[in-house]
Amino acid sequence: MHCRSCEMSLKPFMSFGQQPIANGFIESSAIGNEYFYELEVAVCPGCGLFQLVTQPDAGMMFHKNYAFFSKSSKGMQRHFSAFADYVRQNFLTSASPFVVEIGSNDGILLQNFADWNIAHLGIEPSQNVFEEAKRNGVETLCAFFSEDTSDKVCDQYGKADAIISANVICHIPDINSVAKGIVKLLKPEGVFIFEDPYLGDVVGKTSYDQIYDEHVFLFCVGSVKNIFEKFGLTLLDVLPQTTHGGSMRYVLGRQQYHEISDNVQKQIAKETALGLSLDSTYDAFRNNCEKSRADLVKLLTELKAKKKKVVGYAATSKSTTVLNYCNIGSDLIDFISDTSPEKQNKLSPGKHIPVKSHDEFVANYPDYAVLFAWNHEAEIKSKEKRFEESGGQWVHFVPDVRIDEPIQ
């Protein structure tokens, strides 16, 4: 196995065991036919890139029925409206700018540019979310981004002032093809701005649930510099984000047209202090994951022994890693409540916990709810006050396994 960026040979430092497709919610008739692969992770000794050893084929994850619609979170809608403002104010200075987004999903981010009448194009391979974007007037091409797609977009639409992306670049295994495609598609002074879950947060919070099939990479400032600088794109700025439990926004462009912010060196110093390139850091991370697993199973087993009703809140892709790594099934969690109709009345990948509508959660509040969508905690707690008033308590597992104190 070799690094997907620099081709140095890789040695996995831990395995999360056999895992199904994280967003592969199934009908009961499909039990027995599920695809599993071993979820092993490694950090490249050459370029520092954190990556999965094997990733299932893209067509198994991104297809006509992708289970995740970005607009399902109000908090993310606000985040993306602020992201669009940031891009427009800082980088769209030409008379008639053109913005391309990679992995635009249902149009949550590009909708802002469409509303401002700014020329834009989304590149989105999953048919159902692509169609939703088109319905809302967001110009979108149904394709996987790669160097080839970039050539086609250049021919048909011309070059971009800004290429933007959120929670997508970490999904694309051929990162060198992505980099080459971006270099071709950007105007000379154009910028590439992307954000993704940040390795420093995953290591710092033991949020190992960010590791699943779709996330083939977890980036940090050091690895992003190494990946893109060999293609002539300089890292100009880095801006930490609170989304998805801690993300990083990276701004890249050709050095002769831009200044480099001090933020880049400051963040690299933080990564050195965190030990993001040391083997010992990942040995400690593995130990922390094992402790988190033992603590969560112990807690849920105790609650069950006390005859408490425990459900899961939000059937996130992240929860697939947790449930399968910890071997938690419907013996410990009755069902998982989720607002996405695509997941409801199906079974969770691998462990086959029933997924039910949010109405079922409200109709009969449980004693405990495991907060799988912990990255949306503020949004969820504000809309679920009645659950807490009914005596319900949240179970958390990031950064530690714990139960919220009941409200008085």
Could you say which of 62, 113, 212, 285 contacts ligand SAH (CB under 6 A)?
62
The secondary structure of residue 168, as a DSSP letter, is -
For residue 352, the partner it binds in ligand SAH, ligand TMP, Zn ion, none, with Cβ less than 5 to 8 A by kind, is: none
Binding piece for Zn ion, criterion CB under 5 A, among 5-13, 60-68, 92-100, 232-240: 5-13
CA distance 107 to 335: 30
CA distance 323 to 399: 16
Q: Site map for ligand TMP, 347-386, x if CB under 6 A? A: --------------------------x--x--xx------
At 405, list the tokens. Answer: 């104190």
54-73 positions binding ligand TMP, by CB under 6 A: 68, 72-73
Q: Which is nearer to ligand TMP, 3 or 355 (CB)?
A: 355
Under 8 Å between Cβ of 120 and 99: yes
Residues in the chain, total: 408
CA distance 78 to 317: 22
Residues 50/55/58/63 CA torsion (nearest 10 deg): -100
For residue 173, the partner it binds in Zn ion, ligand TMP, ligand SAH, none, with Cβ less than 5 to 8 A by kind, is: none
Look at the block and give the residue holding tokens 């005596």.
Answer: 391
Q: Site map for ligand SAH, 115-154, x if CB under 6 A? A: --------xxxx--x--------------xx---------
At 39, list the tokens. Answer: 């979820």
CA distance 208 to 201: 10
For residue 46, the partner it binds in ligand TMP, Zn ion, ligand SAH, none, with Cβ less than 5 to 8 A by kind, is: Zn ion
45-64 positions binding Zn ion, by CB under 5 A: 46-47, 49
CA angle 250, 253, 258 (to 5 degrees): 105
For residue 380, the partner it binds in Zn ion, ligand TMP, ligand SAH, none, with Cβ less than 5 to 8 A by kind, is: ligand TMP
For residue 316, the partner it binds in ligand TMP, Zn ion, ligand SAH, none, with Cβ less than 5 to 8 A by kind, is: ligand TMP
155-174 positions binding ligand SAH, by CB under 6 A: 166-168, 171-172
**Under DSSP, is residue 88 helix (H, G, I), strand (E, B) or coil?**
helix
Under 8 Å between Cβ of 356 and 378: no
Could you say which of 16, 25, 66, 192 contacts ligand SAH (CB under 6 A)?
66
Instruction: Choose among 216, 225, 267: nearest CA to 42.
Output: 216
For residue 73, the partner it binds in ligand SAH, ligand TMP, Zn ion, none, with Cβ less than 5 to 8 A by kind, is: ligand TMP
Cβ-proximal residue to ligand SAH, closest one:
103
User: Exposed (0-12), middle (13-18) or buried (19+): which is 329, by Cβ within 10 Å?
Assistant: middle
CA distance 63 to 60: 7
For residue 324, the partner it binds in ligand TMP, ligand SAH, Zn ion, none, with Cβ less than 5 to 8 A by kind, is: none
Q: Which is nearer to ligand SAH, 184 or 304 (CB)?
A: 184
For residue 6, the partner it binds in ligand TMP, ligand SAH, Zn ion, none, with Cβ less than 5 to 8 A by kind, is: Zn ion
For residue 47, the partner it binds in ligand TMP, Zn ion, ligand SAH, none, with Cβ less than 5 to 8 A by kind, is: Zn ion
Residue 173 within binding range of Zn ion, rule CB under 5 A: no
SS3 assignment for 62-101: CCCCCCCCHHHCHHHHHHHHHHHHHHHHHHCCCCCCEEEE
CA angle 318, 348, 22 (to 5 degrees): 40
Minimum Å gap between C-beta 249 and ligand TMP is 18
Helix then strand then coil, % of the chain, to nearest 5: 40, 20, 40
Instruction: Choose among 117, 274, 114, 97: nearest CA to 186.
Output: 97
For residue 15, the partner it binds in ligand TMP, ligand SAH, Zn ion, none, with Cβ less than 5 to 8 A by kind, is: none
273-332 positions binding ligand SAH, by CB under 6 A: none
Strands, sheet with 310-313, edge to edge from the N-terminal-most edge strand: 355-356, 336-337, 310-313, 368-371, 393-396, 402-403
CA distance 301 to 283: 27
Interface residues toward Zn ion, by CB under 5 A: 3, 5-6, 8, 44, 46-47, 49
Interface residues toward ligand TMP, by CB under 6 A: 68, 72-73, 314-318, 338-340, 343, 373, 376, 379-380
Interface residues toward ligand SAH, by CB under 6 A: 62, 66, 68, 70, 76, 102-103, 105, 108, 123-126, 129, 144-145, 166-168, 171-172
